[in-house]
Every structure is written in C-alpha cells, then in structure tokens.
Amino acid sequence: MIAAFRATLEEVIEADLIIHVKDISDPDHRAQAQDVLEILSSLGVDIGNTDRIVEVWNKADMLDEHTLNVLQTSARTLLNPALMISALTGEGLNQLLITIERRLSGEMQSVKLVLKPDEMQLIDWFYKNSGKIEQENHDDGSVTIRALLTCEAKKRLDHLQKICINTSFKL
C-alpha cells in the first residue's frame, strides 16, 4: 500500500494543477495542511507557485456560524485565497469548478512539432498532457502534432526536449 501511495504522490509532480483539499472542521487542520505542503515540497513541487495549487477548505457545513465567518474572512485574505466548500451540501462547488477551469485553460499554449518514426513514444505524452491534440500522419512515417498545452505541460515538454538532445524533435 505504501508503494501505491508513493506512486500516487509522484503523479502530483506531473500535474498541471494540484487541488489541496483539507477538512476545515478538523481541529488539527493546520498541522495536517503543513504536513501535505512538506510532502509536496519534498517531491520537488514549488509550493510557492500559487497558480499551480488550489487550496480547498471542505466541510464548511460542519462549522458553527461564527467560526465559518472567521474562516471565510481568513480564506479571502490569503496570498492564494482558499475556497470554502461543502461537498455534502454543494456549497462552493460551482466556484471551485470555475477556478479549476480558469487555471487550466487560462494560459494554454499552442505547439506544433514533427516527430520522426523513432520519436513516436512522445505521442503518448501528448495524449496524456494536452487539452486538445491533432495528429497528422505522413507517408515517410513522421507525424505532425498540433496540441494545446498548459504552461506547466509546456515547461515539461521543454525539459524533455533538453534531455532528449540526441533526438531531432524541435518545436
């Protein structure tokens, strides 16, 4: 089970957006949140990148009115404002969906590249990391890829291009 959990955490490194959900009704929520941030940091995630992490405070329905008001004010004044939700009642879920959509679609970049036959392993990467992809196969076995990538995915592609210096794919 620990290996499976570790594998799940390692997927976070490749994520365009991290949604950090915490149980705001738990008296120990601050310490738990700090543990999560330390784990993310140990995995190499830039926890200061507020464009990549959405903090969600769940179980707002479990709070008394005074505590809810105090926490709502606190959530709005953070450097990366937290979203107060209740998965049980649905409160705040629409705003969460809007936030996710804005973060993921707000800064899409269009890329076009031609892959030679020995570079086809990158096609899977595009299908996993692209919001939209067009693939055009050529008679010589090469493939032209046109894709929309988030800024984070584009950075990962740039990194792949640097480490694959022996290949010819170019943007």
- Say if residue 100 is exposed, middle or buried (CB neighbours under 10 Å; 0-12, 13-18, 19+): middle
pLDDT of residue 2: 57
Buried b (16+ CB within 10 A) or exposed e, 119-133: beebeeebeebbeee
pLDDT tens profile 43-101: 888 888 777 889 999 999 999 999 989 988 888 777 778 999 999 999 999 989 888 88
Comparing C-alpha atoms, which of 153, 160, 167 is closest to residue 111?
Answer: 153
pLDDT of residue 29: 92
Classify domain 2-105 at the CATH topology level: Rossmann fold (3.40.50)
Indicate the domain borders of the chain. Answer: 2-105, 109-163
Comparing C-alpha atoms, which of 163, 167, 127 is closest to residue 148?
Answer: 127
Q: Provide the token pair at 52.
A: 């990549």
